[in-house]
A = this chain, B = another copy of it.
Amino acid sequence: MPSERVIKVGILGATGTVGQRFIVLLSNNPRFEIHTLGASDRSAGRLYPHAANWKLSEKLPNNVTTLHVKRCVPEDFVGCDIIFSEKSFMEANFPVFSNAKNYRMYDTVPLVIPTANPEHFAVVGQQRKEFNLNRGFIITNSNCSVTGTAVVLKALQLSFGPIKKAMVTTMQAISGAGYPGVASLDIMDNVVPFIGGEEEKIEKELAKILGAVSSDNLTIQSDSQLVVSASCNRVPVIDGHTSSVSIEFASDEKPSIDQIKVCLSEYRTMAQQLGCHSAPEQAIIVFEEEDRPQPRLDRMKDNGMAVSIGRIRECPMLDFKFTILIHNTILGAAGASILNAEIAAETGLI
């Protein structure tokens, strides 16, 4: 695809929390232009500002104030080059970038965090064959709670070989539950030590993201050596998932803490090499302060597209432990889909 053509975008679930974030993130994108917004039948036909209960502190971008919401059916999205989020649009031959959980673990569906494993796009050819498509496909991004850990572990894996064990305890923001989501009576002055299905997602998705594409590009093989144990908690934080993580490398030759810091700081990804608009300046930001990263101070680093890490230290039980932070509705959701699409555009998939 000629790199200069404007790409027309359709967004499903456009009135929800993640949909609103998509709209803000795309408002200044030089390459992507919002063409169609879809939502529930109840919203269809109404002007977007009337249909959406706008909950972001960022202003509603001008370019959507005059758009009418459409139904989420392929015939209402004719003219869109790509579709953001879920459903049966792939089968209607649209390129789909999905933040939904449904297809993530399917063998020929890439589960891609753009600053971790975009090489998994390689199975799209096989996927098209299976579904008999020439233009459409589906690329998913991961659950927000796994995103930060996946990027860090991928960077470490590239430099120091496979990870054998990862113990992950999350402290997740309320915006991860959408709107209205978490009741204030449930979370003020409180911690909720359970988020349905989340621990299982971390344990499975992490293995797939750190896995490899088979040499014939036919399938993605999850990392079967990796043992992951996750404990997920909701805390009274608006945006930003923080995790305490301990890991063990498979190899007996362990890197030093300084080597780890250098590896993470210097980590460069395909998204940056391609010069994608939404790529973070640094995929991983390493903090030296003993009490960072913190969600309120650090979640917007590099426009919410960077992973922040700090407190890298030895673990008395495994090899190393540290604190990881990401912005759950940007790199953890809408931002990942958008950067995946930018990579796909730059590499000719669209």
Contact = CB atoms under 8 A, between A and B. Distances in A.
Interface stretch (A5-13, A149-157, A169-177, A214-222): A169-177
| Copies of this protein, total | 4
A348 interface: no
A274 interface: no
Interface residues of A, number: 60
Interface in A26-81: 55-57, 59
Given A229-B246, A229-B318, A293-B193, A235 B167 contact: no
A297 to B, nearest CB: 5
A237 interface: yes
A294 interface: yes
Contacts of A293: 193
22 contacts: A57-B297, A167-B246, A169-B231, A171-B235, A181-B184, A181-B185, A184-B186, A184-B188, A189-B236, A190-B295, A190-B297, A191-B295, A193-B242, A193-B291, A193-B293, A194-B290, A194-B291, A203-B316, A227-B316, A229-B317, A231-B246, A236-B237
Interface of A: 17, 55-57, 59, 165, 167, 169, 171, 174-175, 179-194, 203, 227-229, 231, 233, 235-238, 242, 244, 246, 290-301, 310-311, 315-318, 321, 323
